[in-house]
Chains A and B, each alone.
Chain A
Amino acid sequence: MSNSLLTTTDLSISYGAVKAVRGSNLEVKEGEVVALLGPNGAGKSSTLRAIVGLIKSQGSVNFAGHDITGLPTERIVSLGLSLVPEGRRLFPNLTVSENLMLGAPRKAKSDDLFDDLLDRLPILRERLQQVSGTLSGGEQQQVAIARALMSQPKLLLIDEPSLGLAPTIVDAVYQLLSDLRKTGLAMIIVEQEVMRVLKFADRAYAMSTGEIALEGSAADLRTSDEVKRVYLGGAD
């Protein structure tokens, strides 16, 4: 449990003259669930996108013993990192089945994995031949997570899993994440619903204007006055 799976060292991201992230140091251990908190524009999504190589960054990123700094996204994915992007970003004109199969570069193993995922998400089995753009938001989120799992990641990065979903649907999404955690999958979850994710995660980082302002166990942060003040307007 204590081996480090991902570390970012002095990670910085700039958009032109604007520094979105300044010198952030993150760590995720094997099997650990880490929450990444912060208001809009704090640099959370940028951090996830930089880790998987979708945007350029300075500093270094180490994953499972490999220096993945500056590698192309497809190499990083093949090493066992996967991202569920903000807004889900399914391919709307492809069917559910095509979306999932496209997520599986190693074809040999993918049939078993496919069945296993569908056992976990029985709703999707009925929707396999449906064009994914016509699914409900909750179903799309489940497909997005399932698609990210097709590459058999060791670490799943999830950007705003509850965004735009009704509370009961969010429960279902977190139930799925909870099942996945039992398989030993490590996660970084970016989430606006601070209390929900702090109840779920092991540890958390709170970002503010591009820097990590706070870090600690999720239980500690849940009772921290600082977190209450910044994210919850002083109320629980």
Chain B
Amino acid sequence: MDALISYLVNVISLGGTYALLALGLAVVFSVLGLINFAHGELMTLTGYVLLAGILTGQPFWLAVLVAVIAGGISAALMEFAAFRPVRNASGATLLMTSFAVSMLLQVLFQNGISPRGQAVPVPTWLTTSLSIGNSQISKVQIMSITVGVLSLLALKFFFDRSYWGWAIRAAADDFEIVGLMGVKASRLIMFAFLLSGLLAGVAGVLWVIQRGSVDPLMGFKPVLAAFIVAVIGGLGSLTGAVAGGFILSAIEIALQTWLPPNVMPYRDAVTYTLVVIILSIFPNGIFGKKSQEKV
């Protein structure tokens, strides 16, 4: 029972972060058909802004808020400076651009700040644990679950109720026709990047607080996981991104908890074998569109 509770807590807290990251990728994919591999660097950037806020003695909540907003603004700037000039180019060009932006930012972090990781001093009230039954749950995890779930609920509300939410969902279905609805394409793309940056910001803050440190290459692993999450869910599907996040998290945490120690080094191999099995059952992802459905 206690093992189950702690398993669920871990799955929800990691899954929520994956879901936020994968949603960020999916939102940009909806409007540009691009997997933005520089998404991870937005997380890293958020981490450094958070660190700067804490080191300069700002209240924790303010440092978090500024960090998340910095993620959103940086994403919008990234769109304007890097992706807008090549918007009508081929998918390969866009993908190369995203790798270039990613590496550029990594080098800037390495040379401008430090190649080594920096400890992020989290407020002491976050470092304690609560007991539920016989299991100990850290406050960081409680915060990460709360923030993850609330963000997902807020997004659901936004996607279901607002004009721009409909426009993003419509873009995921059929981007060309969104222009026919009178929605300005360049504004929608800028907005999608802003939203994806805010999501990377929230995920970045959660990630940094759980690890307690930030380093220049920090964003690579989570964005790779988020890419896999988006593929499991069905590229471009927003529902799929959330579902995929919790599925990958459930697999990873289960293996980490119950895999025998001598097999543990093969954990990632086992994880991705399961992913391949899922994809062989659902070749377009679980919520993916079938590719040939035109009448």
- Chain B residue contacts of A91, Cβ below 8 A: 169-170, 173-174, 177
A105-B295 contact given A85-B177, A89-B177, A93-B172, CB 8 Å threshold: no
Cα separation A83 to B295 with both chains bound (whole Å): 18
Q: Are A74 and B179 in contact (CB under 8 A)?
A: yes
Q: Are B183 and A102 in contact (CB under 8 A)?
A: yes
User: Would you give the shortest CB distance from B31 to chain A, in whole angstroms?
Assistant: 14
A45 at the interface (CB under 8 A from B): no
Contact size class for B?
Answer: 20 to 34
A8 at the interface (CB under 8 A from B): no
A102-B173 contact given A54-B179, A74-B185, A78-B182, CB 8 Å threshold: no
B294 at the interface (CB under 8 A from A): yes
Q: Are A93 and B180 in contact (CB under 8 A)?
A: no
A151-B182 contact given A54-B176, A102-B163, CB 8 Å threshold: yes
Q: Are B182 and A105 in contact (CB under 8 A)?
A: yes
A74-B169 contact given A54-B176, A87-B294, A89-B177, CB 8 Å threshold: no
Closest to B293 in A: A92
Cβ contact of A74, chosen from B174, B176, B182, cutoff 8 A: B182
User: Would you give the shortest CB distance from A105 to chain B, in whole angstroms?
Assistant: 4
Most buried by B among A52, A73, A137, A163: A73
Across chains A and B, which 7 residue pairs bring their CB atoms closest together, nearest first? A105-B182, A73-B179, A91-B173, A91-B170, A77-B182, A74-B184, A89-B177
Can you list 30 A-B pairs with a CB-CB distance of less than 8 A? A74-B182, A74-B183, A77-B181, A77-B182, A83-B180, A85-B177, A85-B180, A88-B295, A89-B174, A89-B177, A91-B170, A91-B177, A92-B173, A94-B166, A94-B169, A94-B170, A94-B173, A98-B169, A98-B170, A101-B163, A102-B166, A102-B167, A102-B170, A102-B183, A105-B181, A105-B183, A107-B163, A147-B181, A151-B182, A163-B295
Contacts A91-B173, A91-B174, A164-B295 aside, 16 further interface pairs with beta carbons under 8 A come to A52-B180, A73-B180, A74-B182, A87-B295, A92-B173, A94-B173, A98-B166, A102-B166, A102-B178, A102-B181, A103-B181, A103-B182, A105-B183, A137-B295, A147-B181, A148-B180
